[in-house]
Structure 1
Amino acid sequence: MDASENRRSITVGIFVLLGVVVFVVGVLTLGGQNKSFVKSIHISSVFSDVSGLKKGNNVWFSGVKVGVIKSIRFTGNSQVDVDMSIEASSQPYIHRNAGVRISSDGLIGNKIVVIDGGSPQAPIVQDGDVLQSEKLLSTDDIMKTLQQNNQNLLAITTDFKTLGHQILAGKGTVGALLADSTMALQLRAAMRNLQTATQSASLMAVQLNHFSNKMNTKGGLADKLLTDTVAFNRIQESVTKLKEAANNATILTDNLNKASNKLNSTDNIMGVLLNDPKGAEKVQSTLNYLQQSSVKLNDDLEALQHNFLLKGFFKKKEKAKQDSLKGKM
């Protein structure tokens, strides 16, 4: 009897001890999940819509769980204050200008609060600070955006459908190219001509480059013109002389024009001879008279030489002429 009671007492004690151990482990586990036994600070943020966020949901920072939601309460018109418990070990990495937003733990998981670190220039967050919340894009907003995108996509596909029908019907430039073989051949010929023109332009560019290289060759004419001041001065002098020659030619041409104009007028002898037939006849008659008079004068002189009164004079003159010629010889 005593032995059986002792075994029963030992068994009950073992079960009680196991229950206490399980209870302590459960408390520690739950406390660890809720950060109840970890040194922490309290920060908060105000949202206009928490989208189903609940007390006890997790707080994440840079992909690491750093705290939990302690309380959610209304603070004003459509304003919800979310109080968070953050591990003190993560405090040095969170700054006061950090943003707070609501997200989801996976695609359809529980709601969580995500903290962005902020800029390092800002001070570190302290216990009781209120962080700025970021506006959450609600499901309705997402659905409206998707609906608008669907409408835009439907409009685009409708336009493409209409365009495809028009192309198949041969309308427009593309449709004409697809339906009209003649236009396609013309376009192909135009492309060949364009390719030929492009090749010609490329060849011209190569030739211009080659010509430029020749011009830049040391000792060439272009190089001398650009670098040799002596050659440049000589060319400049030649150009000046050519300019003077051109001016002289211009003056000569003007003089010839004036002379030609005078020849075309009747206020001078040459002009009368060239342009006035009657005056020319008079001049011709005068010349004829002069010629006849000179012939008669020669005859008269010949007659005087044979005259006995002047024959001695002419003989003396002839003899003096002969003596002069002998003296020169």
Structure 2
Amino acid sequence: MNPQIPRRKAVWLGLFVLVATCITVGGLMATGTLAQALTPRTRVTTTFHDVGGLSKGDAVWYARVPVGRVERVGLGRDGVDVRLALDSGTVARIPGSVEARVGSDGLIGNPIVVLEPGEAHVHGPLVEGDTVPSRPGTSMDELMEELRATNANVLAITGSVRTVTDRMDAGEGTLGRLAHDDVLYEEVRSTLGSLKVASDEASAMARDGRELARDARDVVATVDAATQGETPLGVLVGDRDAGQDLDATIENLEASSETLSENLAAMRDHWLLGGLFTPKAQKREERQARRAARRDAVDPDDAVAGAE
């Protein structure tokens, strides 16, 4: 018997075992089972009245992030006891006041345990051995019942809409008559045109009213400024000293005017400056009178000859 044959079989057997081991380890790592088995866990418990098909290995979510797995599901004294194995690396970020409910990862997805913030005032994160209070979740039966009710409402609405459209097609009701009667349609169109014109006029009136109100505010502001002495008119009206100064100025002007009149009269009567103040019309009349006197003056010899 050749001794190399058993040795060859042993080599092939070793290679087969090595390849099988590599395939197994690779498969476990690909599915995450090995990583989960090697990850440290923090175990907490909760109790539900209805788990809705929850089973071992289902996911545990917190803030829509997977944080662990369901480790055990079994009947207890007060309901269904569920033990949760949470990742120790993330459990430090989960407050101890959370509550658990059974949900699903989609509309018709797998059941999961959802951890949500609760109302209990518990300080610190979850720790090993904690009992998490539970709240009732929405079961698939309730969702189906709501879906059936919604479908019934949709069918009722669809029937009502169909009834209305049938009456419109038959020319019944206001919309039906409007759709089939051209005269009524033209009347409605004319009415809408009149309403548009009235709306435009109302808009113009409102715009004019806003401008009038703005002008009124400007007038009121001007009057207020005058009343408070912020303008010259306000100073004259509201400031007594300014009024007295104005009266004194007017009196001075009147006195100056009288003095000027007296000076002009004296200069007119002066023999040297009087000609400057003689009116032009008076000078013209005097020149014409002198010319007439010269024409009327007749030589004496000419006068005797004329008499003969």
TM value normalised by structure 1: 0.57
Change (3 A) 1:163 1:208: same
Deviation at 1:84, TM superposition (A): 0.8
Checking the alignment, whether the CA contact within 8 Å between 2:55 and 2:70 is kept in structure 1 is yes
SS at match of 2:191: helix
Change (3 A) 1:34 1:202: same
Checking the alignment, whether the CA contact within 8 Å between 2:67 and 2:91 is kept in structure 1 is no
Distance 2:196 2:41 in 1: 76
Return the letter of the residue paired with 1:86.
L
Instruction: Tell me whether 1:65 sits opposite 2:37 in the alignment.
Output: no
Change (3 A) 1:177 1:131: same
Checking the alignment, whether the CA contact within 8 Å between 2:43 and 2:85 is kept in structure 1 is yes
SS at match of 1:114: strand
Change (3 A) 1:33 1:106: farther
The aligned counterpart of 2:156 is 155
SS at match of 2:197: helix
Checking the alignment, whether the CA contact within 8 Å between 1:71 and 1:84 is kept in structure 2 is yes
The aligned counterpart of 2:86 is 86
Return the letter of the residue paired with 1:81.
D
Return the letter of the residue paired with 2:70.
I
Return the letter of the residue paired with 2:186.
L
SS at match of 2:209: helix
Could you tell me which runs of 5 or more consecutive residues in structure 1 were left unpaired when the two chains were aligned.
235-329
The aligned counterpart of 1:114 is 114
Q: Which moved more, 1:46-55 or 1:150-159?
A: 46-55
Checking the alignment, whether the CA contact within 8 Å between 2:95 and 2:124 is kept in structure 1 is yes
Return the letter of the residue paired with 2:91.
Q
Return the letter of the residue paired with 1:55.
K
Structure of greater Rg: 1
Distance 2:27 2:174 in 1: 78
Distance 1:216 1:104 in 2: 66
Return the letter of the residue paired with 1:137.
T
Identity fraction in percent: 28
Return the letter of the residue paired with 2:102.
I
Instruction: Tell me whether 1:4 sits opposite 2:8 in the alignment.
Output: no
Return the letter of the residue paired with 1:144.
E
Change (3 A) 1:117 1:25: farther
The aligned counterpart of 2:146 is 145
Instruction: Tell me whether 1:98 sits opposite 2:98 in the alignment.
Output: yes
The aligned counterpart of 2:184 is 183
Distance 1:71 1:34 in 2: 19
Q: Where do 1:204-215 residues align within 5 Å?
A: 204-215=205-216
Change (3 A) 1:76 1:19: same
Distance 1:10 1:44 in 2: 50
Return the letter of the residue paired with 2:199.
T
Deviation at 1:160, TM superposition (A): 0.9
Change (3 A) 1:61 1:204: closer
Distance 2:74 2:43 in 1: 15
Q: Where do 1:1-329 residues align within 5 Å?
A: 1-16=2-17, 32-33=33-34, 35-76=36-77, 79-105=79-105, 109-116=109-116, 122-217=123-218, 223-224=222-223, 228=227
Distance 1:35 1:198 in 2: 73
Distance 1:228 1:50 in 2: 83
Paired residue total: 229
Deviation at 1:187, TM superposition (A): 2.0
Checking the alignment, whether the CA contact within 8 Å between 1:215 and 1:223 is kept in structure 2 is no
Change (3 A) 1:106 1:144: closer
Checking the alignment, whether the CA contact within 8 Å between 2:44 and 2:84 is kept in structure 1 is yes
CA-to-partner distance for each residue in 1:45-77, whole Å, 9 max, x for gaps? 222221211122232334543322221111235
Return the letter of the residue paired with 2:56.
K
Return the letter of the residue paired with 1:67.
G
Change (3 A) 1:174 1:125: same
Deviation at 1:80, TM superposition (A): 0.9
Return the letter of the residue paired with 1:194.
L
Change (3 A) 1:196 1:105: closer
Return the letter of the residue paired with 1:200.
E
Return the letter of the residue paired with 1:140.
D
Deviation at 1:166, TM superposition (A): 2.0
TM value normalised by structure 2: 0.60
